[in-house]
């Protein structure tokens, strides 16, 4: 059984005003050195500098008594947890397990959780999860908000469940929303997200694979993203050969985008250089406010093997819109409400089809600007 290192033993007070940074850092270092568990009991523990360790070659376990009970409180500009891990060849035997912890901001705090493995070239490690987050709340309220929520670089086998990450609603000025609830960078392989919620961000989930190798396996189940400019924004590494970012699945859940005054328009899914993706049973809703910017439920740029099925598209200018060299795009069995155009295949899109949809308050309008794809029942 792992030894437990209670931060109060090291001098943490937890009254919300005392600076507990040094005590928590000392307890963290002791827990890591002993391969033990850092324990955060009930309290509001103020943090004024990042709690972090670099070049880690150990497992890091952090536990609390619940995200509304064991809370780390960050003040203006402060990041909270910042950990970087080493690799062993193509394997990631060391990582973070974080459970039952809350993060709260006072003023404009930095990033709540940052985890990095640098820039590995290859992975064949699917034995264990590198990063596990369960029952974690990153909260914003009238006292403060976060610049970003969770930032993970090149971690494989991420497991994230029952996680809530909220940003700043900017008082209803949606164009002023900033940051990302969850950001993945470089090569994050075989990542699983279940019952994850990201609210009030410029982007709910942002994945930028630039600078890394190909990535496969992004799995989302019953996740919701509310009050954002973009819901899921994925950019594959265009410098890499196929598959770039591949095997994305999104099952169920809701993405609701704010559109009023948002520069460049809003999108529930903004996909660039993504190969083999399945989006099924998702609700994608745009708020019904006038906007001079075009809105898209799914914007696909240089994508292949994209399947949209059994989804609900509500109040978008375009349900599906393709640009660049897209192929094998399959949109079928979806419901469209108050959408000006249901599906639009632009020039450069080949081998694609749209069929079997249900319309409500719509004029049927599918477009095939390339003239080589199939529309209707085929």
pLDDT band at 32 (very low <50, low <70, confident <90, very high): very high
Residue 77 lies in a domain: yes
pTM, full prediction: 0.94
Residue 24 lies in a domain: no
Residue 161 lies in a domain: yes
The DSSP call for residue 241 is P
- Residue 119 pLDDT greater than 90, yes or no: no
- Residue 117 pLDDT greater than 50, yes or no: yes
Q: How many residues does the chain have?
A: 378
Structural domain including 126 reads 50-375
Number of domains the chain is built from: 1
Read off the pLDDT of each residue in 5-27 and give the average, rounded to a whole number.
96
Q: What is the pLDDT of residue 280?
A: 97
Q: Give yes or no for a contact between 84 and 116, defined as CB atoms under 8 angstroms apart.
A: yes
Residue 303 lies in a domain: yes
Per residue in 41-91, pLDDT tens?
999 999 999 999 999 999 999 999 999 999 999 998 999 999 999 988 888
Residue 346 lies in a domain: yes
Q: What are phi and psi of 174, to 5 degrees?
A: -65, -30
For residue 45, how many C-alpha atoms fall within 13 Å in the half-sphere facing its CB? 32
Residue 284 lies in a domain: yes
CATH number, domain at 183?
Answer: 2.160.20
Assigned token pair, 55: 């070049």
Q: What is the pLDDT of residue 378?
A: 41
Q: Give yes or no for a contact between 257 and 286, defined as CB atoms under 8 angstroms apart.
A: yes
Per residue in 132-153, pLDDT tens?
999 999 999 999 999 999 999 9
Residue 328 lies in a domain: yes
Average pLDDT, the chain: 91
DSSP-derived secondary structure for 259-321 = -TT-TT--EEEEEESEEEEEEES-EEEE-----SS--EEEEEES-EEEEEES-EEES-SEEEE
pLDDT band at 242 (very low <50, low <70, confident <90, very high): low
Residue 11 lies in a domain: no
């Amino acid at each position: 059984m792992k030894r437990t290192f209670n931060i109060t033993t090291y001098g943490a007070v937890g009254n919300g005003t005392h600076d507990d940074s040094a005590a928590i850092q000392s307890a963290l270092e002791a827990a890591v050195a002993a391969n033990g568990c850092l324990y955060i009991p009930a309290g509001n523990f103020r943090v004024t500098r990042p709690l972090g360790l670099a070049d880690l070659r150990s497992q890091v376990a952090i536990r609390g008594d619940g995200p509304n009970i064991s809370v780390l409180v960050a003040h203006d500009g402060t990041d909270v947890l910042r950990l970087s891990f080493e690799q062993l060849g193509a394997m990631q035997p060391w990582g973070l397990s974080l459970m039952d912890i809350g993060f709260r901001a006072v003023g404009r705090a930095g990033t709540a959780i940052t985890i990095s493995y640098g820039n590995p070239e290859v992975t064949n490690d699917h034995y264990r999860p590198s990063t596990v987050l369960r029952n974690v709340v990153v909260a914003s309220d009238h006292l403060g908000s976060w610049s970003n929520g969770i930032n993970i670089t090149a971690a494989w086998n991420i497991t994230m469940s029952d996680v809530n990450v909220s940003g700043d609603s900017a008082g209803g000025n949606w164009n002023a929303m900033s940051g990302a609830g969850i950001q993945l960078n470089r090569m994050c392989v075989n990542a699983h997200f279940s019952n994850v919620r990201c609210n009030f961000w410029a982007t709910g989930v942002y994945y930028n694979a630039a600078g890394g190798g190909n990535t496969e396996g992004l799995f989302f189940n019953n996740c919701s993203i509310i009050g954002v400019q973009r819901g899921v924004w994925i950019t594959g590494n265009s410098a890499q050969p196929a598959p770039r970012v591949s095997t994305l699945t999104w099952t169920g859940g809701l993405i609701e985008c704010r559109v009023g005054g948002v520069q460049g328009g809003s999108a529930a899914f903004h996909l660039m250089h993504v190969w083999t993706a399945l989006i099924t049973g998702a609700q994608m809703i745009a708020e019904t406010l006038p906007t001079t910017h075009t809105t898209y439920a799914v914007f696909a740029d240089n994508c292949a093997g994209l399947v949209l099925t059994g989804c609900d598209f509500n109040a978008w200018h375009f349900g599906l819109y393709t640009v660049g060299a897209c192929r094998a795009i399959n949109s079928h069995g979806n419901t469209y409400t108050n959408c000006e155009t249901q599906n639009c295949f632009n020039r450069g899109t080949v081998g694609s089809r749209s069929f079997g949809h249900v319309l409500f308050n719509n004029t049927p309008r599918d477009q095939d600007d390339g003239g080589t794809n199939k529309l209707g029942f085929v």
